Structure 1
Amino acid sequence: MTPATVLPLVFALALLVPIAVARYHDGADRALTHAAIGLFGDYVDSFRSEHPDRQAALRAAHVPRTYREYGSKTLLYAGLFAVVGSVLGIYVIWLGLTVLSISPEIMRESLPSALAFLANLGDVPSLSALELAVLLCSSGLTLGVATGGGTYWLRWWYPSHVASDRARRIEATLPGTVAFVYALSRSGMEFPRIVRIVADNSDTYGTAAAEFDVAVRNVDTFGMDVVTAVQTMGRRTASPQFREFSENLVSVLQSGHSLSTFLERQYHDYREEAESQQESMLDLLATLAEAYVTVLVAGPLFLITILVVIGFSIGDTLEPLQALVYVVLPLGNLAFVVYLSTVTDAIDPGRTDVENPKTDVERRMSSVLETAGETRTDGGVGSARASTTATRNIDRVQLYRRFRTIRTRIGTPVETILERPTWLLGLTIPLAAGAVLWRLSATAGGGLELAAVDDTIALAALFVLATFALVYEIHRYRVDAIEAAVPDLLERLASVNEAGMPIVTAIDHVRGSDLGPLDAELDRLWADMRWGADLETALRRFESRVRTRTTARVVTLLSAAMNASGNLSTVLRIGARQASADRRLQRERRQGMLEYMVVVYVSFLVFIFIVAVLSAYLLPNMPTESVGTEMGGMGDTGGFDGVGEVDAATYTLLFYHATLVQGFTSGFIAGQLSTGDVKAGAKHAAVMVAVAVLLFAVVI
């Protein structure tokens, strides 16, 4: 290639450098933003009033950019990508034609005379500077406009997409957040403090609680009163349901009506709404399950059968079959999994990421450091020494805790893996990959063939799936048992506290009852308090040990309510009812989707049965020569000519891979349909892959 033909490519790649650097460097991003505002800022402002929906989408998606800044960068990116697209498009097309070995002469003969200039795309390295300039102008009017327009559209579409996804998550977590606000109001806590507590616990109560952080920022930064801040929060939210709740809440606050009564009514309404949404979700999942069986199980099976029959009759159809098995099936199932993830929410109680709270020693050392810092302003030598000593002691405590955590996780690997099943993949995947590589090295002398290592790959995948499924199901069983015991715990604590017993004494009274897996944790909670920890610290330690979503909510609710009132019976009963409602919805979903999970299993068994029949009975018994040859040369009938062109073992291997791909993907989809969590499909995938391996190893 001449320098004239390389220069446009270098220029296009150079335009991508500032965009890539700005992605990871704040200084470069600011410089790019300033340049964009300087070029397009006034233009964007002139059309601000014509696009209120874009401004609303930016606010609803919580994009940390102003409309002027985001719009200016959008125009700048569209212009840059228009240039880059027009230049790179030429070289990409030239590279594709080179790989496909399509010469410019063949293109000139095939294209109409009006489009003959397109043949120059296959001869870019030998073009003159003038010819390349003409080609770049033509590309700019086509590929450049398409790339720039697509970039502009995607930049403005993305905030609305994020806002719609955020709205879905807000509405999914709104019942729990309203229950939390209702419980805090019944404890006697003032509303401004409730808003701050809800905003601080967004990790526990979800996206709906995170919306309250907008109100907190408006109060702290702009000095708004709480009512105005909540009103602004409602106007900027992405969820119409949350906007309606905010408007009603503002009306109650302004009118002076009972806040607890309003929240109680809203709490019951959202519980009923959650049940209605559950029914709608089950109907949607039922439709998706039927569509999956029809499109991605029965459809490929029908195509495989038809292509095999056509291949036996008139010619080789191996390449379409390979495209179907190795491309269409995996990508189709992957797209279905991604779509399921966007329309459903996992009902797995999950694990929280709560770290161990500060110990009493750390809190004392922090107070010492603060005191030392205050006295150090006097300029005394003793205060400086005290500050240095306190800092060193805190560093020692933090270093000890850091190594203690590592030592605990390494010293108890079984408990660590049971708490975090995905960590097991860091061990099993390298082992499985090592086994596959060893098998490849053992067969490398005779040439690399997939048929020689496909059993090793299948068994390695089965090993990874089976081990992860075992650990994950043990983890899930423990979490489900704890979640099931939480409502009983709260009801018993509420009954004892309602009788006049303090919450600390109530915990001692309840820990002797049968609460399943919570019995040992309650004993440790009581032991923490006996050794001098306050109740809030003991509860935080309890939360860090159990690490489930429901226990995190219970601990957050109790910790906040205890600071407002000693009578916690009402708060505990509200938490118990909410936990029971969540458990009931989870059971209903599992029961409702059980039949469709069975349908997925049956469809896979039908798939593997038909493929096994084709492999075990049809392929070995098909004639490999023309029927006319067997009849003594009386004439060629033309039937079954395609059989001899491809060995039957090749078709059998292809069918084997089809069952493995279908079993692997169908298993994960079955788990995602039943629970909303793709990890729950590991056990189904392991079962289906094992059936495929055994069938082809024993029967065929």
Structure 2
Amino acid sequence: MWVNGCGSTVALNGFCTGIWLLKRGNMTYTILDELAYLFYGDFFYKNKEYFQDLKVKIRHSHISMSVDQYLASTFMYSVIVGITSGIFGLWLGLKIFGSPVSRLSLFVDPARADIAGEYVYPLALLVGLILFLVSFFAVFLVAYIYPYFQANNRQASIDKSMLPAITYMYALTKGGMSIYDVFRSLSRYSYIFGATAEEISYVVRDMDYLGKDFISSLKIAKERTPSEIFKDFVDGLIIVSSSGTITEYIKNKSEQYQGLAEMANRNLLQRLDVLAEIYVTALVAGPLFVMVTLVVLQFFRPASAQILYMLIYIILPLATLLYLVLLDTVGELSIDPKKGDIRSFTINLSDIPEINSGFTEEVEQKRKKMYMLYRELHRLKDMVLNPYRTIRNEPRYTFFFGVPLGLYYLTQLPRNLRNSLFSSFHHLNISFDHVTDSAIKLVTAVDDYFVIFIVVALIPFIIFYEIKAWRMRKIDEKMPDFLKSLSSMNESGIMLANSLKIIAESKMGILSKELKKLKEDLSWGTSTSKALMNLENSIRTPSSSRILHILVKANESTSDLKNVLSITARQVRNDEDMKKERSSAMVVYVITIYVAFFVFLFIVYILATNFFPQTASFSTSSQGMGGIGGYFNVEEYSMLMFHSALVQAFTSGIVAGKMGQGSAYLGLKYSVSMVIITYVAFTMFV
């Protein structure tokens, strides 16, 4: 069908654009970029004054290319994709307009089909030209706005991570550490303190490797960052850096940014209200209206089913994907920034003296490889001996047995269906006719098995991901009480180590087991800092990592932890209050999406069970009396309604999770539940 051709074009354009943008994000410079600058660089260099805003966004995005180089590469990739799409469009036009007249009813009026057949090559060239222009401008536009999108994402990430980073700075400056050493320390923990620590690391880089002084590095950072909050902090830091009031300045900024965080949370909830209405209107009610309209149009233009194929299998999933991208642009929906894989972290060894082992470089390399091999074997051994803990920490490992279970179920297909399915793949051919009745019957018989395969493959992942999310949520809920107890004991003059031992004996819920391990470490003579880091490695939630690192650095810097604990406890309590406020508000969005889905399911169910059989009877009688009306295939349209409900169920669940809990993965439980409801409704009652 021609829909497959259009889908291939969309996939090709998306793949090429995605690969290029991924390369830009990874700051990779290729030979093709050099050729692009050779051909088009001079033009964009002479006209770069027209792209000053783009230049700023490229710098904000940390893309290591000049604006003229970026535009030259963008133009080159757009031309390549455009030419590829144009050639495909030429072939597509020849297939369409070189087909029999009966196959052109979707594109031209049947009365004019003969005329279209006389101009096959000009029309094919026109199709190729249109696809070239559409692909060229689409790729160029996407690449052009990518730095804006990336800069907005960085701004949201920096704004979100400013408050914990400021608290960390306060803990160190309170102990008498210089602001430069504070920056150096913070720059090493970007995996904990997020984008703010990354911005700080560029300040440290400019001083260490480019020979800039502290003030000059701050001014450069001010121009480089997309965050107005970070600029405000740097402006004030430049002013107070020569005085002795840096600690007081950072403390005041911590209180100020706490108020800004609460305001940003309220603004985000207001934006989500609008986005929820947009989703229901554009991606639930809109497709439903189009589907009903196309069913009615089947009486006047029989090829309208092919538009339904495009709507259900291409447009609706892509539109949902774009909506998820839109949700990412409005701000972080999750309170905590992404925490990376600890195995990918690198350790800064600049403060560790180099020791000559006495081995040659070749021997050193062999020993290093053996050590890395030992680490991997140790990790695999730990995975085998502690499967529950491994899967709890990394739920994606469930696919190692979830997918095989689903595949085993697929092998239970009846032999005749397996043979028909393999035969269909073997004789796969692109056609512009309607789907044949035999193909519809085959898909209808097989799709049940694939639905169950998806459910079986996802359920283990959903269970363990929900367990992980529940555990992290409960740990974070206990952290304010933990800090409050520490602060109270510190005010009473009790040392931090003794305070931790006392708290370990109290009831701290899910933290009790981990705190008892910490007490044992302290009892065996482990230093307080080491014991806290062991606790962090055991808990491994983003919020607890930030808190425990602040405690470690504060304990190493000063014995007076009163102010640090007070500010940290207040910040964590406010964060938890914002989480609860957001969770309460987001329940409404989940309910809204569920209601919208059930309305969608009810209407397509009514169409499949009542409207389609009556329509088929009317179509047959109308044709017998010589009236208008085309052939209406009840099985085909029922299949399309079933698949549309499945697609809507899966995508709606993902959106509900993203809006309701800040994670698309947490939306999979909604997706699977709605898919099961759809499957039961259509298999038992249709």
Aligned pairs, number:
635
Quote how far apart the aligned CAs of 1:354 are.
Answer: 5.8
| CA-CA distance at 1:454 after TM superposition | 1.2
Show the counterpart of 1:697. Answer: 683
Does the 8 A contact of 1:77 with 1:152 survive in 2?
yes
Aligned equivalents of 1:51 and 1:294: distance in 2?
A: 36
Per-residue CA deviations over 1:25-77 (Å, capped at 9, x if unaligned) read x9x95777777778888887766677554543333222234x3xx62474377
Among 486, 496, 499, the alignment partner of 1:503 is: 496
Q: Is the 8 A contact 1:98 1:122 kept in 2?
A: no
CA contact (8 A) 2:649 2:678 kept: yes
Is residue 352 of structure 1 aligned with residue 349 of structure 2?
A: no
Structure 2 residue runs of 5 or longer lacking an equivalent are 1-15, 105-111, 425-441
Letter in 2 for 1:698: M
2:587 alignment partner in structure 1: 594
Q: Which amino acid aligns with 1:71?
A: D
C-alpha distance in structure 1 between counterparts of 2:332 and 2:638, whole Å: 39
Match of 2:448 in 1: 455
Structure 1: gaps of 5 or more residues: 1-15, 125-138, 377-383
Question: Do the aligned partners of residues 697 and 81 (structure 1) sit closer, same or farther apart at CA in structure 2, a change above 3 Å counting?
Answer: closer
Q: By how many angstroms is 1:322 displaced?
A: 3.6
Confirm or deny: 8 A CA contact 1:196 1:216 kept in the other structure: yes
Q: What TM-score does the superposition give when structure 1 sets the normalisation length?
A: 0.78
Change (3 A) 1:183 1:342: same
The one-letter amino acid of 2:189's match is: N
Alignment CA distance shift 1:145-1:454 (3 Å): closer
Cα pair distance change 1:471/1:153, threshold 3 Å? closer
> How much does 1:328 deviate?
3.3
Aligned-pair CA distance for 1:102: 2.9
The one of 269, 290, 293 aligned to 1:282:
269
String of CA shifts for 1:58-104, please: whole Å, max 9, x gaps. 33222234x3xx6247437746865x57865663343223332539x
**TM-fit CA distance, 1:465:** 3.4
Q: Is the 8 A contact 1:351 1:547 kept in 2?
A: no
- Taking a change above 3 Å as real, the CA distance of residues 121 and 301 of structure 1, as seen in their structure-2 partners, is closer
> C-alpha root-mean-square deviation of aligned residues, in Å?
4.4
TM-fit CA distance, 1:467: 2.8
Inter-partner Cα distance in structure 2 for 1:546 and 1:669: 29
Counterpart of 1:75? 72
- CA distance in structure 2 between the aligned counterparts of 1:249 and 1:212, rounded to whole angstroms: 13
Residues 166, 238 of structure 1: 8 Å contact kept: yes
From 273, 286, 289, give the equivalent of 1:302.
Answer: 289
Which residue in 2 is equivalent to 1:436?
410
Letter matched to residue 556 of structure 1 = H
Once the two structures are TM-superposed, the CA of residue 618 in structure 1 deviates from its matched residue by 3.6
Aligned AA (1:328): I
Give the letter aligned to residue 312 of structure 2.
V
Give the conservation status (yes or no) of the 8 Å contact 2:206–2:217: yes
Q: What is the CA–CA distance in structure 1 between the aligned matches of 2:287 and 2:619, rounded to whole Å?
A: 29
Evaluate the alpha carbon distance shift between residue 239 and residue 276 of structure 1 in structure 2; reply closer, same or farther with a 3 A threshold: same
SS at match of 1:172: helix
Residues 154 and 590 of structure 1: is their aligned pair in 2 closer, same or farther, counting only changes over 3 Å?
A: closer
Pick the aligned partner of 1:559 from 552, 555, 559: 552
User: Which segment drifts farther, 565-574 or 592-601?
Assistant: 565-574
1:443/1:196 CA distance change after superposition, 3 Å: same
Hey, what's the Cα distance between the residues in 2 that align with 1:290 and 1:297? 10
Among candidates 362, 385, 395, match of residue 411 of structure 1 = 385
Q: Secondary structure at the match of 2:241?
A: helix
For the residues of structure 1 that align with 2:644 and 2:265, how far apart are their CA atoms? 35
Give the equivalent residue in structure 2 for 1:11. Answer: none
Q: Partners of 1:589 and 1:458 in 2: how far apart?
A: 33
Q: Tell me, in whole angstroms, the C-alpha distance in 1 between the residues paired with 2:479 and 2:256.
A: 23
Quick one: which amino acid aligns to residue 206 of structure 1?
A: G
Q: CA deviation at 1:411?
A: 2.1
Q: 1:440 to 1:221 in 2, by over 3 A?
A: farther
Aligned mate of 1:180, from 168, 174, 179: 168
1:679 equivalenced with 2:665 (yes/no): yes
Q: State yes or no: 1:214 paired with 2:202.
A: yes
What amino acid is aligned across from residue 613 of structure 1 in structure 2?
I
Match of 2:464 in 1: 471
Structure 1 match to 2:394: 420
Q: Which residue of 1 aligns with 2:64?
A: 64
Q: Is the 8 A contact 1:671 1:682 kept in 2?
A: yes
Q: Hey, what's the Cα distance between the residues in 2 that align with 1:432 and 1:498?
A: 58
1:110–1:238 distance in 2 versus 1, CA, 3 Å: farther
* One-letter amino acid matched to 2:209: T
Report the residue type matching 2:378 in the other structure. Answer: R
The one-character-per-residue Cα deviations of 1:377-411 (angstroms, maximum 9, x if unpaired) are: xxxxxxx69x9999999887765544232111122
Tell me: CA distance 1:627–1:166, structure 2 relative to 1, closer, same or farther (3 Å): closer
Task: Check whether the contact 1:418–1:474 (CA below 8 A) recurs between aligned residues.
Answer: yes
- 1:269 has 2:265 as partner: no
Change beyond 3 A, Cα 1:220–1:390 = closer
Partner of residue 100, structure 1: 96
TM-score (norm 2): 0.80
Q: 2: CA distance between counterparts of 1:50 and 1:601?
A: 47
Between the aligned partners of 1:343 and 1:402, the Cα distance in structure 2 is 40
Task: Give me the whole-angstrom Cα distance separating, in 2, the residues matched to 1:316 and 1:156.
Answer: 37
Cα distance, 1:223 vs structure 2: 2.9
8 Å Cα contact 1:102/1:122 also seen in 2: no
Correspondence for 1:136: none
Do structure 1's residue 336 and structure 2's residue 323 form an aligned pair?
yes
2:439 match: none
CA distance in 2, matches of 1:610, 1:431: 34
Letter of the 1:339 partner, please give it: L
In structure 2, how many angstroms separate the alpha carbons of the residues matched to 1:666 and 1:620?
29
What is the match of residue 131 of structure 1?
Answer: none
Distance change (3 Å), C-alpha of 1:308 and 1:505: same
> Paired residue for 1:133?
none
Shift in alpha-carbon separation, 1:609–1:121, aligned structure 2, 3 A = closer
Cα deviation for residue 557 of structure 1 reads 1.0
Residue 238 (structure 1) aligned with residue 231 (structure 2)? no
Kindly state the Cα deviation for residue 611 of structure 1 after the two structures are TM-superposed.
2.3
1:659 corresponds, among 639, 642, 645, to 645
Q: Given the alignment, which residue of 450, 456, 474 partners 1:481?
A: 474
Contact residue 93 and residue 123 of structure 2 kept, 8 A: no
Shift, 1:584, TM fit: 1.4
Match of 1:550 in 2: 543
For 1:237, the aligned partner's letter is T
> Radius of gyration: which is bigger?
1
